[in-house]
Amino acid sequence: MKEQELMQKIVSLAKRRGFIFQGSEIYGGLAGTYDYGPLGVSLKKNIKDSWWRKFVENRTDMYGLDASILMSGMVWHASGHADGFVDPLVEDLVTGKRYRADHLLEDAGFEILGKTISEMNQIIQENNILSPEKNPLGEVRTFNMMLQTKMGAVEDSASHTFLRPETAQGIFVNFKNVVDSFSPKLPFGIGQIGKAFRNEITPRDFIFRLREFEQMEIEYFVYPEYWSQEFEYWKDEMLEWMQEIGLDMNHVHEVEISEEDRAHYSKRTIDFEFDYPFGRKELYGLAYRGDYDLSKHIEKSKQRLQILHPETNEWITPHVIEPTFGVDRTVLALLLSVYQEEEIDGESRVYLSFPSSMAPVKIAVSPLLRNKPDLVERAQEVFAKLKQEFGNVMWDDNGNIGKRYRRQDEIGTPYCVVVDFDTLENNEVTVRDRNTTKQERVSIQKLNTYFAEKFETK
């Protein structure tokens, strides 16, 4: 299958089956925004729950946080975002359309990592690079990606602030609060899941580059001398989680960012890239940020964002390892990883091979025929029992049984349960497995333990 074709199929399945819709669709859509429908919400929740369990709840050295999206403008001056969170912008001189200069140059085959604005201008001039509409381009300039907003009724400069472009700063500004409340010892971390906003010049590639998206971030505070081993440890933890949720690890690549391309304060950064149909691009990042952020906030806020060293009794500024994950890019990479097409007995079928922990619907329950009251009644009993135990269980009596299986395959439901006439005699139902399409009879009495075992191992 051609890569672009695969992307089209994913986008259309996501809309048709209620995973992901274009934002503000009935008004023509709002660029860079997507809305998650019932199944998308469920998938996203499974991803976030799994992340939270592994990285926060199941550990004794992690603290959870939910900071405000709106923060004092001072935060963004201290962190460097107000001045430095910029992308190179270039305009088509005829249409006025704006593009990311680095993307245009990349598409034209130039290596742009680490290039300055004037170097990009030089490449454009020397090679007569044109816009996608084949028009001349203007000068490359920097464009701040933070979305500005106004707060309160008074119009003055103090009322201007930004929607956060990352969740990380919410963690740094709460460092002291967590330390004061819990007196943690190094190493320890603070984890947060939340929305972030970036005024991307050209949002594109479905939910890959959005203007509103969600991040799952950890700031892990360590003794400076141990940063290197902690970095390795977090790299392995990240890889383990990617595998756990069912990403195709053949499509995940670790890319060491070279010194010249790293932020000046970072001694090491790894990008985890994924083979998307539109190219190999960033999925997650892992950065050693030294004491850059805490030191900047100490300087600007005049607060002691430090910890007392238990042996020397001196105040030290911990160093930070930052594993960062995009929720939406996870959704996309996961959909691409589990999308399967196959031919069975001359018929083609599409299914999503989610691990059960990620599947938006765990089990679908149907009566063989929906116009037979005794079948429906029995199926309703089975449905209620399973729903109580497993939560995300769907009632599906639309169309014939073949159509139901196809629909459930397309949304990745691991098991379908069908109540038929034999059930009324022997109290057994048919359970059909999504991946193998094999069916077996299971007694209603044993259904809960049957599924509990299945879900434990998958």
Applying CB under 6 A, which residues contact ligand ATP? 166, 198, 200, 209-210, 213, 215, 282-285, 324, 326, 328-329
> d(Cα 381, Cα 228) in Å, to the nearest integer?
56
Is 285 or 367 the residue whose CB approaches ligand ATP more closely? Answer: 285
Residues 6+ apart with CB under 8 A from 52: 64, 191, 193, 216
The three-point CA angle 86-89-92 to 5° equals 170
Residues 6+ apart with CB under 8 A from 180: none
Is 86 or 186 the residue whose CB approaches ligand ATP more closely? Answer: 86
Q: Which residue is nearest to ligand ATP (CB)?
A: 326
**Structure-block tokens of residue 106:** 């990349």
Least distance between ligand ATP and beta carbon 100 (Å): 9
Least distance between ligand ATP and beta carbon 73 (Å): 20
Least distance between ligand ATP and beta carbon 287 (Å): 8
**Structure-block tokens of residue 202:** 């050209």
Is 247 or 431 the residue whose CB approaches ligand ATP more closely? Answer: 247
What would the DSSP string read from start to end of 47-66? HHHHHHIIIIIT-SSEEEE-
Residues 6+ apart with CB under 8 A from 397: 366, 367, 370, 376, 379, 404
Least distance between ligand ATP and beta carbon 184 (Å): 25
How many C-beta atoms surround the C-beta of residue 70 within 10 A? 12
> d(Cα 269, Cα 320) in Å, to the nearest integer?
12
Is 175 or 325 the residue whose CB approaches ligand ATP more closely? Answer: 325
> Which among 312, 324, 211 is positioned nearest to 266, based on CA atoms?
324
What would the DSSP string read from start to end of 84-105? H-EEEEEEBTTT--EEEHHHHH
> d(Cα 444, Cα 380) in Å, to the nearest integer?
12
Least distance between ligand ATP and beta carbon 282 (Å): 4
Is 168 or 361 the residue whose CB approaches ligand ATP more closely? Answer: 168
What would the DSSP string read from start to end of 65-84? E---SB--HHHHHHHSHHHH
Least distance between ligand ATP and beta carbon 215 (Å): 5
Least distance between ligand ATP and beta carbon 412 (Å): 22
Least distance between ligand ATP and beta carbon 163 (Å): 13
Is 244 or 282 the residue whose CB approaches ligand ATP more closely? Answer: 282
Q: Which helix (H) or strand (E) holds 35?
A: strand 34-36
Is 63 or 284 the residue whose CB approaches ligand ATP more closely? Answer: 284
Phi, psi angle pair for 157, to nearest 5°: -65, -25
Least distance between ligand ATP and beta carbon 227 (Å): 18
Is 106 or 410 the residue whose CB approaches ligand ATP more closely? Answer: 106
Is 210 or 382 the residue whose CB approaches ligand ATP more closely? Answer: 210
Residues 6+ apart with CB under 8 A from 224: 290, 291, 316, 318, 319
